[in-house]
């Protein structure tokens, strides 16, 4: 239910007939099949689908961490041929913080890989700690932080590179309900302030509705685009429309699968 972004943003992502097959011959497994979509700058797109539908694989291909079997991916007008940490920020379910580095040093780490001067790294990292509300924990190590704090440090690290595209693979899934809600609210606030483009994978339909302004639904294995919902920012939990949309999405994702399973028995 994020507020609407500028209507005429440039095209940030273009995916054309993307497929991914793991293995060969009788053991081949199709993870994604004929995915096509575009995402404009400033959008907050949530991707929902059942386990095994290729949501994470799609994000890994967009990040350049995995190559597609067929099809093409273009980000900011350039084909994706490998990782581009200066253009694309990635955040996974596990924060993957370096345990021997403090919170501020973890945020500085991708900048250090680019050989940015130490003073510039610190100048960039400290305001990001302010942004995620953790300035007072700058010198704490990951094992001294809660799960929610670690994810906020990971978010600040992803933002440190000034990437205009942020790919998030269920970053809040392992958090308790209260912390998860807090992190959702903080992410939305950051997005409102910066309007970077987000693709956010989640198993939770309610989460997809709360934070997204466009929802992409993937079918069960192999993942195909089953439906898109583009007017998410028009629904509200107060008038019950968010709940109705949640039921609608559930039916779109699972009704056909349930019928097929029943017919098979």
pLDDT tens digit sequence for 83-130: 876 778 888 877 788 999 999 999 998 888 788 888 888 888 998 898
Instruction: Of 211, 165, 188, give the one whose Cα is nearest residue 10.
Output: 165
Q: Where on the phi/psi map is residue 78: left (φ > 0), alpha (ψ -120 to 50), or beta?
A: beta
Q: Helix, strand, coil: what percent of the chain each, to 5?
A: 40, 25, 35
| 147, containing H or E segment | helix 147-159
Residues 6+ apart with CB under 8 A from 136: none
- What per-residue confidence (pLDDT) applies to 110? 82
Residue 256: pLDDT band (50, 70, 90) is: low
Residue 168: pLDDT band (50, 70, 90) is: very high
Q: Supply the mean pLDDT for the chain.
A: 85
Percent of the chain with pLDDT over 70: 92
Q: Is the confidence at residue 226, as pLDDT, over 50?
A: yes
- What per-residue confidence (pLDDT) applies to 35? 93
Residue 1: pLDDT band (50, 70, 90) is: low
Per-residue pLDDT reduced to its tens digit, 176-190: 888 888 888 888 888
Instruction: Of 215, 158, 213, 147, give the one whose Cα is nearest residue 183.
Output: 147
Q: Is the confidence at residue 211, as pLDDT, over 70?
A: yes
Average pLDDT over residues 141-159: 89
Query: What is the Cα–Cα distance from 231 to 228, expressed in whole angstroms?
Result: 9
- What per-residue confidence (pLDDT) applies to 6? 46
- What per-residue confidence (pLDDT) applies to 260? 44
**Which residues lie across from 79 on neighbouring strands?**
74
For residue 200, give the 3-state DSSP assignment: strand
Per-residue pLDDT reduced to its tens digit, 18-54: 999 998 877 888 899 999 999 999 999 999 988 888 8
């Amino acid at each position: 239910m994020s507020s609407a972004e500028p209507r005429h943003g440039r095209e940030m992502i273009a995916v054309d007939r993307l497929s991914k097959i793991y293995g060969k011959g009788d053991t081949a497994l199709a993870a994604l099949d004929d995915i096509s979509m575009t995402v404009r700058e400033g959008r907050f797109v949530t991707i929902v689908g059942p386990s095994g539908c290729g949501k994470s694989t799609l994000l890994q291909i967009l990040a350049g961490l995995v190559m597609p079997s067929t099809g093409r991916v273009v980000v900011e007008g350039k084909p994706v041929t490998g990782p581009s940490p200066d253009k694309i920020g990635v955040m996974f379910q596990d924060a993957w913080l370096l345990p021997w580095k403090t919170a501020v040093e973890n945020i500085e780490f991708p900048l250090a890989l680019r050989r940015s001067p130490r003073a510039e790294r610190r100048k960039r990292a400290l305001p990001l700690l302010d942004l995620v509300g953790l300035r007072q924990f700058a010198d704490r190590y990951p094992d001294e932080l809660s799960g929610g704090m670690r994810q906020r440090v990971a978010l600040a690290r992803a933002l440190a590179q000034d990437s205009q595209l942020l790919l998030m693979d269920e970053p809040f899934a392992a958090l308790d309900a209260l912390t998860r809600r807090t992190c959702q609210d903080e992410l939305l606030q950051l997005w409102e302030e910066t309007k970077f483009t987000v693709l956010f994978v989640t198993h939770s339909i309610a989460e997809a509705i709360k934070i997204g302004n466009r929802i992409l639904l993937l079918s069960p294995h192999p993942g195909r685009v089953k439906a898109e919902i583009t007017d998410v920012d028009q629904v509200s939990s107060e008038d019950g429309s968010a709940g109705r949309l949640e039921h609608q999405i559930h039916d779109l994702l699972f009704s056909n699968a349930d019928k097929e399973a029943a017919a098979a028995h």
